[in-house]
Structure 1
Amino acid sequence: ILSPEWHGQVPAGLKNFFLLWGAGELAHKPALIVSISSSDGGAYPVAELRMSSYKNNRICYLPEHLIIRNVESVLNADASKNNPETDRYFRERIVYAGGILSAYANVLKGVRESGITHSDVFRFGM
């Protein structure tokens, strides 16, 4: 889930996205939160997504997340626009987090296929 930081928050459109899915489309599927900030911020969108975006859609956020700070100075195709040390760190961290996301996807597929998560009785989160 990629979220730009918008006035220290998750953008309204992304918040609304999570409200649209309550019939199991996202249920028990892993998600990696990636917050993007043009400054040194980016932590609030992570906290906001973890706190309020999963309740009835039951998306499963990984304990790992990424906060890409000062985004204009990293991950550019033109390497001359990147801060070399920071860019290298984020590229390595993205690969690391992607590996974790892939492992969670493999495991949670079995959980979904087991049928244990299908319940008409407990349709809404607590």
Structure 2
Amino acid sequence: MRRPQFEELSEEQQLNFGNGIGPFWLPEKIRDFVTKSASWFFKSASWRHHDFGYAVGGDRWDRARCDWKFYAAMMKDAFCQKYVLITLWPALFLATAFYVAVRLGGQMGSFEYRKCYASLQEIIDTYT
């Protein structure tokens, strides 16, 4: 089965996908605060993309790829800051902290481990 892509969702579905930065068990107010704070540093590093990858699922290598792509996007954003001399170090620290958090915490119920990928329709029906 072909792996569904985030870009296959409609623009509205993309904008509403995922729960922000943080695991499902973290209180919504805390997730919202972390997500809004991270938005100061990471403009295009999409946690929605990352959440989509976790919903598609797969094996441990699929999860590692999702996490690495998330980290790479955050690092790219860190180096593209408007005030790079002021914001670079905090952005690098946060990117690394988020990466470590998803590597450690993502295996505890967030990633959909499965033998074959979820279909796009399954994802839409379950997560949107």
TM superposition score normalised by structure 2: 0.34
The answer to which structure has the higher helix fraction is 2
Structure 1 or 2: more strand by fraction: 1
Q: Which has the higher contact order (CA 8 A, sep 6+)?
A: 2
Q: Which structure would you say has the larger Rg?
A: 1
TM-score norm. by structure 1 comes to: 0.34
